[in-house]
Amino acid sequence: MKLKYILIIILIMTHFKGYEQQVSLKKGLYDLKNRESIAYGTIQIIGTKKITDCDQNGHFEILAEKTDSIMFSCIGYATLIMPISQIINVDSIFLKETFFELENVVVRNSSSLLFGIINEKQQRSHVGSNTEQPDRYEMTTLIDIPFSVKAFRISKVFIKEKYFNNYAPFQLHIYSVNAQGFPDSELLKNQIIVTSKNNNEDRIEIDVKNQNIILEGVSFFVGIQWMTCNKEPLAKGMDYGIAETLKLDKPLTYRRSLLLENYRWFVEYEKCIVFPETINEAKKTFFWKNQNTSYGHPINMIASAEIQKL
């Protein structure tokens, strides 16, 4: 009986000791040069799955161990890593802006070209709320450029949506394609956050000409990442988000989430989830969404892009 009480006391002491090792950080993220807040920057505890985003005013809150180090990052800024011991006694974190030397662009006398998933019928709408996707969630669609286009600048991207509004803001990404065919390096030079529609059409249009993204003979991915800082819940029965299609017979849309394999890219089919290295293999390692024993159709985000030939 004495041993039982001793064990209970040890467990209680260990529990409270764990709390003593934790610290709740409520800070702000700012531009080092102009001291303006950095909206929707990313905060990650190194070596863990704990990631959050600043709100529109640069404020964030995260629970960490006293021995942790935190990485602060945002497109257009140099990444900063700091130990908790240096963060505790300051109110603000400052990031240094990254400057890019823009190339000279010569646009030929030719009309703009549109590529991607354009005319496929919408099959469903992905709900874009962090109440539905509690951990960091991202999806991106391949914009397949034909070999006949040697060099080009990305001018606009288009994402079909249903009832998007600012309860579900997302960050735009444009990625290069790696040797395995899935998303690789970020091509955007400055952060783009979409919080509202800019027209009354059924698609979101984003102008990226000023980012001066110039590519030669390669395809690219257009991606969206749901922001984790918005705590507004979805109203019951509401359905707003990004449109998808099941009609295509090949996977063009890749996804990743902290809920699956430490934020790795995967392909979602109607019946299962498959990781990139297993797509072309016999059905060896994948995660079944139900007991159905067929792949079904890949689920693709309806996205496209306008380019200008150089």
Q: Indicate the domain borders of the chain.
A: 2-95, 113-309
CB–CB of 240/167 below 8 Å? Answer: yes
Residues 93, 85: Cα–Cα separation, whole Å:
13
pLDDT at 77: 92
Q: What residues pair up with 303 in beta bridges, in sequence order? A: 159
Q: Name the stretches of the chain with pLDDT < 50.
A: 14-19, 129-131, 282-284
Residues 250, 10: Cα–Cα separation, whole Å:
56
SS3 content of the chain, % helix, strand, coil (to 5): 10, 40, 50
CB–CB of 207/181 below 8 Å? Answer: no
Cα 298 to Cα 75, 121, 132, 253, 274: the distances in Å are 30, 14, 21, 8, 10
Interacting residues of 39 by C-beta distance below 8 A, sequence separation 6+: 54, 55, 56, 57, 58, 191, 193
pLDDT at 107: 60
What is the model's pTM?
0.82
DSSP letter, residue 255: E
Write the pLDDT tens digit of every residue in 227-248.
876 656 555 555 567 889 998 8
pLDDT at 11: 55
Helix (H) or strand (E) holding 16: helix 2-20
Residues 163, 236: Cα–Cα separation, whole Å:
14
Residues 78, 31: Cα–Cα separation, whole Å:
11
Interacting residues of 80 by C-beta distance below 8 A, sequence separation 6+: 71, 72, 73, 93, 95, 96
pLDDT at 283: 46
Interacting residues of 75 by C-beta distance below 8 A, sequence separation 6+: 171, 186, 188, 189, 190, 191, 192
pLDDT at 17: 44
CB–CB of 298/253 below 8 Å? Answer: yes
pLDDT at 161: 82
DSSP letter, residue 262: T
Q: Tell me yes or no: is domain 2-95 CATH 2.60.40.1120.
A: yes
Q: Is 309 helix (H, G, I), strand (E, B) or coil?
A: strand
